[in-house]
Amino acid sequence: MKIAFAPGFFSDLKRCFRPWWRPHNLWYKFKCWAWHRYTTVKPRTLKYHTWCDRNVLLAHAMFEILTQFIEEECSPGHVEWYGTDGHKITVDGEEKYVRDEMQDLYDWWHQQYLKRYPALEDKFCEAVHEHDKAHKLSNLRKEAGTCYWDPQYDTLENKKWGHALLMQLNYLERAVENALDRRLPRILAIRPYMWT
């Protein structure tokens, strides 16, 4: 009685018993653990790496992944982004190249969300504090673990201005959050094209 082995049986057997601990494999795994943590995302745009609400962290992590992809991986030559073979996507009923969509999201994040909106918010806060006659730490009250700012106005006109500015600041914050909410699904739409 003869035993017949399927073609490639011995090469498959050799591959199964090939040691995973070869020096180059160990060195690569050590480099990935120590320096190049490809599966760990730390958003550089968050100022402090302390506690952060998950809704804020999620947006920063998504845009950090997009930023890393554009700055480090998205180079010409790997993928044909334009031309007849270029990948296209539909955004708000308009067809555009995926690379242009990536760049639009990248530019909005770095120019508008991280620079322009905080500058506007700071101007509104400064204007509110100008109308507050005694903006001190004493105006911050803590009740039941929550911090309230209790502005003190010296005239009725300053009070009206202060409240109007606070309403504008709230409107700006809502507009910024709505703009962010509209862009997060667009990142998910380009996810299939983020490979090199």
List pLDDT tens digits, range 179-195. Answer: 999 999 999 999 999 88
Model's pTM, two decimal places?
A: 0.72
Specify if 113 maps to a domain: yes
Which pLDDT value is given to residue 138? 43
In a domain, 153, yes or no: yes
In a domain, 68, yes or no: yes
pLDDT score of 137: 40
Residue 163 lies in a domain: yes
Report d(CA 70, CA 72) in Å as an integer: 6
Q: What is the enclosing helix (H) or strand (E) of 182?
A: helix 156-190
pLDDT tens readout for residues 125-135: 777 777 665 55
Residue with tokens 């009250």: 141
CB 151 within 8 A of CB 132: yes
Q: Kindly state whether residue 23 falls inside one of the protein's structural domains.
A: no
* Total domains, the chain: 1
Domain contains 5: no
C-beta separation of 113 from 62 below 8 A: no
Please check whether residue 18 lies inside any domain of the structure: no
Residues in CB range of 175: below 8 A, 6 or more apart: none
pLDDT for res 136: 46
Per-residue pLDDT, 95: 92
Residues of the chain with pLDDT under 70: 1-22, 76-78, 131-151
Residues 36-69 as b/e (b if ≥16 CB within 10 A, e otherwise) read eeeeeeebeeeeeeeeeeeeeeebbbbbbebbeb
Give the domain range for residue 93: 38-193
Residue 119 in domain: yes
CA–CA gap between residue 136 and residue 138 (Å, rounded): 5
Cα–chain-centroid distance for residue 95? 24
